[in-house]
Chains A and B, each alone.
Chain A
Amino acid sequence: GNSVTQMEGPVTLSEEAFLTINCTYTATGYPSLFWYVQYPGEGLQLLLKATKADDKGSNKGFEATYRKETTSFHLEKGSVQVSDSAVYFCALSDPPVPYKYIFGTGTRLKVLA
């Protein structure tokens, strides 16, 4: 079945460090891929998306490229801030059932000043 694998956390970085959170997926079709962020006590916020191979999603300095050949969608940011501290979720939706998202386990990011 479809699945998403994320790197284990927590990830602890100093402010202005480079961030990479790895995400790989298994899907039978051609899924859309998403990154969501969850701040303490809140729901999930859509961070970025990509709907087909080689698409690059970007938002608020975060980027991720849909790599079909490696079935990956790694999240990157060139310079993290303390305010980026949150839990990040990689997710996919498979076209036959596009509203049913499969989520990774989440990666907690802590950025130190």
Chain B
Amino acid sequence: KAGVTQTPRYLIKTRGQQVTLSCSPISGHRSVSWYQQTPGQGLQFLFEYFSETQRNKGNFPGRFSGRQFSNSRSEMNVSTLELGDSALYLCASSPEGSQPQHFGDGTRLSIL
């Protein structure tokens, strides 16, 4: 069974640009969560989607947004990038959200 797939693995952007990250969950999983991992703040919850609906959102500015498609694939968008957005962005999936989450290898975003 294929795991959670995140693309791309690495991204380099400059301040002010926008970026879109993609996540394909494990087949059959309908819940997709996104986390930001930084050395200073650790792992922080961004948002979660289930059946194309955002059920919860963490404490991040509106520049961070996401969506989920009917096939459960999810995208995360960050607009007007700032240096502090440099991080490893992790996606996790589970069947319905109440079961243990399975994580992808992440997308490492570097802002110059």
Interface 9-mer from B69-77, B78-86, B100-108: B100-108
Contact B105 A42 (CB under 8 A): yes
B43 touches A34 (CB 8 A): no
- B26 an interface residue at 8 Å Cβ cutoff? no
B62, CB-defined interface residue at 8 Å? no
Q: For residue A111, give the distance in angstroms from its CB to the closest CB of chain B.
A: 22
Once the chains bind, are A101 and B45 in contact (CB under 8 Å)?
yes
Q: Are B104 and A99 in contact (CB under 8 A)?
A: no
Residues in B whose Cβ lies below 8 Å from that of A52? none
Residue from B6, B90, B98, B102 in contact with A99 in the complex, judged by beta carbons closer than 8 Å: B98
**Does B55 touch A at the CB level, under 8 Å?**
yes
- A99 to chain B: which residues have CB within 8 Å? 31, 33, 48, 50, 55-56, 94, 97-98, 101
CB distance from A66 to the nearest CB of B (A): 14
CB-based A-B contact count at 8 angstroms: 56
Closest to A36 in B: B103
For B61, the chain A residues whose CB sits under 8 A away are none
For A91, the chain B residues whose CB sits under 8 A away are 43
For chain B, give the interface size range. 20 to 34
Q: Are A43 and B104 in contact (CB under 8 A)?
A: yes
Q: Name the residue on A nearest B48 (C-beta).
A: A99
B45 and A100 form a contact (CB under 8 A): yes
Q: In chain B between 31 and 60, which residues have their CB closer than 8 angstroms to a CB of chain A?
A: 31, 33, 35, 42-43, 45, 48, 50, 55-56, 58
- List the interface of chain B (C-beta within 8 A of A): 4, 6, 31, 33, 35, 42-43, 45, 48, 50, 55-56, 58, 90, 92, 94, 97-98, 100-106
Additional 5 contacts, C-beta under 8 A, given A99-B97, A100-B33: A34-B100, A43-B4, A43-B6, A101-B92, A103-B43
Q: What are 30 A-B contacts with C-beta separation under 8 Å?
A: A41-B105, A42-B106, A43-B4, A43-B6, A43-B90, A43-B104, A43-B106, A44-B90, A44-B92, A44-B103, A45-B103, A49-B100, A89-B43, A91-B43, A99-B33, A99-B50, A99-B55, A99-B56, A100-B33, A100-B48, A100-B56, A101-B33, A101-B45, A102-B45, A103-B35, A103-B42, A103-B43, A105-B42, A106-B42, A106-B43
